[in-house]
C-alpha cells in the first residue's frame, strides 16, 4: 500500500518540528512561526549515499593526522581590496560564503562587481538571480562598467535548473542572489521557508565542495537584523558576512561574523557611488571628516575592528528632560552599555544626570561594540554635561569598570599608531597599557596613562 504523504509543522525561526501546529515554538519561543511542510522522505541507509554524499577529499576512510599533508589554500582575489580583506585575503576555492544585509544596501552591487572582476581573472562566472531579470542585472552592470568578461547571467529560482546550468557552464565562481528565492522541486513548501532554504544551501554546498567551485549566497535579513529563515544556514556555510550601514549615509561596512578561513570581526569599508561600491582605504579619515571643531560633547575614540584600528567620533548631548522620565538613546553603541556607563559616571565621578535626557551617537552611522570604546563615550557625555570642549587633537580608548577604574585593553599599540598617523597629539589610555616600547610608534603623540575615570576626565577636559 503506498504511504500517505505526511506533513510536519516546522518553526521558521529555529527549524524545530512538530506533528501539530503550535502558536508558539517550544524550542526558541517564537510566536506564530510554524508553517506546514512536507516531511522529508525517510532515507534508508543505502539511499543516503545518493546526492547527499560528496567527497571532501580523495580519501575514503579516516587518515592519520601525521600523514595528511598541509595544503596552502590559494586565495582568489575578488579584485576589490576591502572585500578580499573581510574574506581573510580572498576567496578560498570550494568555499561557501553567505552575504547578508538589508534590502537596498548593496549586496547585488558588490557581488556583481566581484563577479565581473573574477570573470576576467579566473574564468567563467555564473550569476544566478531570483530577484531580477537579466536585463535589470545588465543595466546595473553598465553602471559598474562590467565590460567584456565571461559572465553568465541566469534569472532562475528553481534549484535543479541552477544546478544544471552549473554543470553546463562549469563556472569558476557561482553567485546565487538570494537563497530565499530558490526552491527545490523536491519540496512543496514555499520558497524562503526553512526546508527550502536549507535544501538550497545544502545542495549548493555539495556542489561547492564536490567540484571545488567557490559560491556566494545572498541572504535577506529580517527587521531585527538577523538572517531571515534558518539560523541553520549560518552553520552550513564557511563564511558569514554582514553588510551594514545606513541608507542615509553613503558608506557601507561589510563585517565577517564567521569565517572558517580567516579572522572574524574583520571589516571592509566601502562608499556607494554612482558607479558602484568604492573601497575606502582610510576609514578613520572618512569618519572624522565632518567632525565639528570646538563643540562640547564630541570625543574621538579608537576602536579595533578585526586587525584594523579605526578612529571614530562619538557625540553626546545631555539636556534637561522636559518629561517626567529621562530618555537615554544610544546610536551605534549598546544601550545596556550606555546605562552602565551613566551609572558609573553618577556614582564615581559625581555627575548628576537624574532628570537629564542623554543622547549618544557614533558619527557616520558606524557601530562600535568594543569595551575599549567606554572611555570615549564617558568623556563625550562629561564634556556635554560640563560644557567643556575636549581638545581637537586628543584621542582616547580604554575599558571602564564598575568601580570607576580604567582597565587595560588589547592591541593598544595598534590604536596608538593609528592616532599618531591621523595627526593626534595626545592619547588618553589605560595606565596598564603604557609600554615604553610603544614610544616609537607614538611619534609626536603624547601618551597619557590614566587609572580612574576621574583622572581620565580631568585629562580630557583640560585644555
Residues that bind ligand TYD (CB under 6 A): 101, 103-109, 140, 143-144, 272, 274-276
C-beta of 37 vs 102, nearer to ligand TYD: 102
**Rounded distance between C-alpha atoms, residue 111 and residue 108, angstroms:** 5
Q: How far is the CB of 219 from Mg ion (least distance, A)?
A: 11
Partner from Mg ion, ligand TYD, none contacting 105, C-beta within 5 to 8 A by type: ligand TYD
The sheet carrying 96-101 orders its strands as 151-155, 125-129, 173-177, 215-220, 96-101, 239-245, 251-259, 267-273, 276-279
C-beta of 132 vs 455, nearer to ligand TYD: 132
C-beta of 110 vs 205, nearer to ligand TYD: 110
C-beta of 108 vs 117, nearer to Mg ion: 108
Residue nearest to Mg ion (CB): 108
C-beta of 163 vs 175, nearer to ligand TYD: 175
Partner from Mg ion, ligand TYD, none contacting 338, C-beta within 5 to 8 A by type: none
In order, the DSSP letters of 273-317 are ETTEEEE-S-HHHHHHTTPPSS-TTEEEEEEEETTEEEEEEEEEE
Cell, residue 89 = 585575503
Up-side HSE of residue 155: CA atoms within 13 Å toward CB? 8
**Rounded distance between C-alpha atoms, residue 463 and residue 453, angstroms:** 17
Q: How far is the CB of 164 from Mg ion (least distance, A)?
A: 23
C-beta of 108 vs 215, nearer to Mg ion: 108
- Can you name the residues that pair with 176 across neighbouring β-strands? 128, 217
In 122-158, alpha helices (H): 134-143
The sheet carrying 328-331 orders its strands as 328-331, 356-362, 308-320, 298-305, 394-396, 426-430, 446-450
Which run of H or of E encompasses 413?
helix 412-421
Q: How far is the CB of 87 from ligand TYD (least distance, A)?
A: 18
Using alpha carbons, select from 271, 269, 337, 340 the residue that is nearest to residue 305.
Answer: 269
The sheet carrying 34-38 orders its strands as 17-18, 7-11, 34-38
Partner from Mg ion, ligand TYD, none contacting 180, C-beta within 5 to 8 A by type: none
Q: How far is the CB of 235 from Mg ion (least distance, A)?
A: 24
Partner from Mg ion, ligand TYD, none contacting 231, C-beta within 5 to 8 A by type: none
Q: How far is the CB of 451 from ligand TYD (least distance, A)?
A: 46
Please name the residues in contact with 396: beta carbons below 8 A apart, sequence gap of 6 or more.
Answer: 299, 300, 301, 302, 375, 376, 379, 427, 428, 429, 456, 460
Residues in the chain: 463
C-beta of 134 vs 357, nearer to ligand TYD: 134
Q: Can you say how many angstroms the Cα of residue 329 is from the centroid of all Cα atoms in its chain?
A: 23
Q: How far is the CB of 116 from ligand TYD (least distance, A)?
A: 12
Q: How far is the CB of 108 from Mg ion (least distance, A)?
A: 3
C-beta of 140 vs 308, nearer to Mg ion: 140
**Residue ranges that bind Mg ion, judged by CB under 5 A:** 108
Q: How far is the CB of 220 from ligand TYD (least distance, A)?
A: 9
Amino acid at each position: 500500500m503506498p504511504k500517505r504523504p505526511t506533513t510536519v509543522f516546522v518553526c521558521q525561526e529555529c527549524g524545530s518540528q512538530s506533528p501539530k501546529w503550535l502558536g508558539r515554538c517550544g524550542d526558541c519561543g517564537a510566536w506564530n512561526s510554524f508553517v506546514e511542510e512536507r516531511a522529508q522522505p525517510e532515507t534508508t541507509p543505502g539511499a543516503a549515499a545518493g546526492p547527499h554524499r560528496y567527497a571532501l577529499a580523495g580519501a575514503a576512510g579516516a587518515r592519520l593526522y601525521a600523514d595528511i599533508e598541509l595544503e596552502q589554500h590559494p586565495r582568489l582575489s575578488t579584485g576589490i581590496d576591502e572585500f578580499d580583506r573581510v574574506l581573510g585575503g580572498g576567496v578560498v576555492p570550494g568555499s561557501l560564503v553567505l552575504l547578508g544585509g538589508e534590502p537596498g544596501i548593496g549586496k547585488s552591487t558588490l557581488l556583481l562587481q566581484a563577479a565581473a572582476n573574477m570573470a576576467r581573472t579566473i574564468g567563467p562566472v555564473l550569476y544566478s538571480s531570483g530577484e531580477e531579470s537579466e536585463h535589470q542585472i545588465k543595466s546595473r552592470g553598465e553602471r559598474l562598467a562590467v565590460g567584456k568578461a565571461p559572465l553568465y547571467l541566469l534569472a532562475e529560482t528553481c534549484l535543479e535548473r541552477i544546478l544544471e546550468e552549473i554543470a553546463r557552464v562549469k563556472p569558476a565562481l557561482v553567485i546565487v542572489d538570494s537563497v530565499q528565492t530558490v526552491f527545490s522541486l523536491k519540496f512543496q513548501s514555499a520558497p524562503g521557508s526553512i526546508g527550502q532554504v536549507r535544501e538550497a544551501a545544502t545542495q549548493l554546498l555539495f556542489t561547492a565542495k564536490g567540484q571545488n567551485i567557490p559560491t556566494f549566497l545572498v541572504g535577506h535579513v529580517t527587521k531585527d537584523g538577523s538572517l531571515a529563515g534558518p539560523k541553520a544556514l549560518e552553520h552550513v556555510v564557511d563564511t558569514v558576512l554582514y553588510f551594514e550601514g545606513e541608507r542615509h549615509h553613503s558608506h557601507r561596512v561589510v563585517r565577517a561574523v564567521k569565517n572558517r578561513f580567516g579572522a572574524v570581526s574583520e571589516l571592509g569599508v566601502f562608499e556607494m557611488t554612482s558607479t558602484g561600491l568604492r573601497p575606502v582605504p582610510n576609514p578613520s579619515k572618512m569618519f572624522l571628516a565632518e567632525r565639528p571643531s570646538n563643540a562640547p560633547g564630541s570625543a574621538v575614540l579608537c576602536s579595533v575592528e578585526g586587525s584594523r584600528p579605526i578612529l571614530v567620533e562619538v557625540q553626546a548631548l545631555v539636556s534637561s528632560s522636559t518629561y517626567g522620565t529621562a530618555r537615554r538613546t544610544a546610536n551605534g553603541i549598546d544601550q545596556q552599555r550606555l546605562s552602565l556607563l551613566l551609572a558609573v559616571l553618577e556614582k564615581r565621578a559625581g555627575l548628576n544626570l537624574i532628570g537629564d535626557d542623554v543622547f549618544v551617537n557614533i558619527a557616520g552611522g558606524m557601530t562600535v561594540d568594543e569595551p575599549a570604546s567606554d572611555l570615549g563615550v564617558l568623556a563625550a557625555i562629561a564634556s556635554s554635561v560640563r560644557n567643556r570642549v575636549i581638545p581637537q587633537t586628543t584621542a582616547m580608548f580604554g575599558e571602564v569598570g564598575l568601580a570607576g577604574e580604567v582597565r587595560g585593553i588589547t592591541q593598544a599599540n595598534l590604536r596608538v599608531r593609528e592616532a599618531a598617523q591621523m595627526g593626534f597629539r595626545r592619547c588618553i589610555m589605560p595606565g596598564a597599557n603604557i609600554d615604553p616600547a610603544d614610544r616609537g610608534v607614538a611619534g609626536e603623540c603624547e601618551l597619557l596613562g590614566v587609572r580612574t575615570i576621574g583622572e581620565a576626565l580631568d585629562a580630557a577636559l583640560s585644555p
